[in-house]
Structure 1
Amino acid sequence: MRALMVRGGWDGHEPVACTELFRGFLAQHGFDVLTAEDRDVYTDRDLLATIDLIIPCWTGDRLTAEQEQCLTRRVHDGAGLAGWHGGVLATGYEASRYQYLIGGRFIFHPGGIIDHTVDIVSDHPVVADLASFPLRSEQYYLHVDPTLEIHATTTFAGHQEAPETAGVVMPVVWTRRFGAGRVFVSTLGHSPADLQVPQVRTLTERGLLWAAGREQASS
């Protein structure tokens, strides 16, 4: 199988360091891992046709119409897509088909880095046997698609920046089907350190495998 990491954009999310955390894991599970630091790779239809798993890690910037069309078509035709945090949720705001594919978009994170809880709410293979856990990081407030299959949530306390969010239960980890493709999204992963929190690492690795149709390999 072949995986394609597409990384760049705002460097505050350390896209190279974050994606490199998973190169060895993917290789151990039989993936040939390619990288690209230009989103024009999405327009290389011949290459994209050989890719089983797309891992976008690109905060900010616009997708061109051709990039959006080629990416969403490849996932619809059967490739998996798996991403985390701003690298998948805080980009391509003007690209409606991409937004529909992902199923959510970043709005803001009241309070910045704060203590909060990630609650596991399903027994899906991505989160199976994991318990809810505390995390000190950004708590993403999103606009989300109501058709998502949600596996983890977080509840907002109503930080002084946005007191009206008190009690809001927001998706944190979800999966969805898009045509013949599978999509995994996690709001977690602001930094390499966040991605190495054991529960975050586990669910992210499982999400990568699930999106590629390899969920049995996560057990």
Structure 2
Amino acid sequence: MTGTRKTALVVRGGWKGHWPIEATDRYAAVLEGRGYRVVKSESLDSYLDAAALAETDLIVQTWTMGTITGEQLAGLSAAVRAGTGFAGWHGGMIDAFRNAPGYQLITGGQFVHHPRGFVDYRVRPAPERESHPLVDGLTGYPVNTEQYYVHVDPSVDVLAVTDYVDDPDAPGAAGTTMPVVWTRNWGEGRVFVTTLGHKPDDLTVPQTHETITRGLIWATR
């Protein structure tokens, strides 16, 4: 790599209802403002270019649903295992490639369900994780958006949580502590996930924006 400048690869596509272009443009600008070289791609074939991935310090993905080939997944996994960071939010990260369990191993979690429409709920640091650099100083705050019900790997580091709302489609789940922000390691690489970020307005919530910004920096090689 040349000097100390970091390179970020933004991979975006899939279902358009999560605004993959608008959302990733927001954080591409944030990274560029911090001196990163940002490369944007609208093809999962970016995960086939091993040489380019070896020179990439961070992959930011927003690709809801869709299909990933075995070769593309292998390329992504190998890059992260070798130290490239992997980060993203909401469905673009954990409602991607539903039929690829190997992808879910990398992210450490998978979207399962959300209550109908947008709901009010509070996000707060997980107990005993308040001092982690990703959530340090971010006290509990309200949001109005989709609330993800997720299945998560027990090995992830959950940093922020919420209490699941009363939901007739998920009887008995009300009050369950649900992860909102987590991290994990995949080989030498760091992985950052937040369930927030359904719509562009969600990303303007100061605490959400700050958490994502910190997560991108944290995940970078």
- The TM tier, using the shorter chain, reads over 0.9
Shift of 1:152: 0.4
User: Is contact 1:52-1:212 (8 Å) kept?
Assistant: yes
RMSD after superposition: 1.0
User: Is contact 2:10-2:28 (8 Å) kept?
Assistant: no
Letter in 2 for 1:198: P
**Cα separation, 2, equivalents of 1:142 and 1:32:** 33
Shift of 1:96: 2.1
Shift of 1:59: 0.3
User: Is contact 1:85-1:190 (8 Å) kept?
Assistant: yes
Task: Give the structure 1 partner of residue 186 of structure 2.
Answer: 178
Task: Choose the corresponding residue for 1:59, options 56, 64, 70.
Answer: 64
User: Is contact 2:10-2:39 (8 Å) kept?
Assistant: yes
| Counterparts of residues 65-84 of structure 1 (less than 5 Å) | 65-84=70-89
**Cα separation, 1, equivalents of 2:22 and 2:56:** 22
User: Is contact 1:8-1:58 (8 Å) kept?
Assistant: yes
Shift of 1:148: 0.8
Shift of 1:157: 2.5
What 5-or-longer segments of structure 1 have no aligned partner?
214-219
If the length of structure 1 is used for normalisation, what is the TM-score?
0.95
Deviations 1:3-57 (A, max 9, x none): 0000000000000000011122101222100000010111011111111000110
Task: Give the structure 1 partner of residue 113 of structure 2.
Answer: 108
Task: Give the structure 1 partner of residue 147 of structure 2.
Answer: 139
If the length of structure 2 is used for normalisation, what is the TM-score?
0.94
Q: Counterpart of 2:193 in 1: which secondary structure?
A: strand
Task: Choose the corresponding residue for 2:137, options 100, 117, 129.
Answer: 129
**Cα separation, 2, equivalents of 1:96 and 1:157:** 28
| Counterparts of residues 21-32 of structure 1 (less than 5 Å) | 21-32=26-37
Q: How many residues align?
A: 213
Deviations 1:126-177 (A, max 9, x none): 1111001110000000111001101100111322232321121110000111
Task: Choose the corresponding residue for 2:51, options 40, 46, 49.
Answer: 46
**Cα separation, 1, equivalents of 2:117 and 2:154:** 26
Task: Choose the corresponding residue for 1:209, options 182, 200, 217.
Answer: 217
**Cα separation, 2, equivalents of 1:95 and 1:159:** 28
State yes or no: 1:188 paired with 2:193.
Answer: no
Misfit runs of 4+, over 3 Å: none
Task: Give the structure 2 partner of residue 217 of structure 1.
Answer: none
User: Is contact 1:59-1:88 (8 Å) kept?
Assistant: yes
User: Is contact 1:188-1:200 (8 Å) kept?
Assistant: yes
Task: Give the structure 1 partner of residue 174 of structure 2.
Answer: 166
What 5-or-longer segments of structure 2 have no aligned partner?
1-5
Shift of 1:183: 0.4
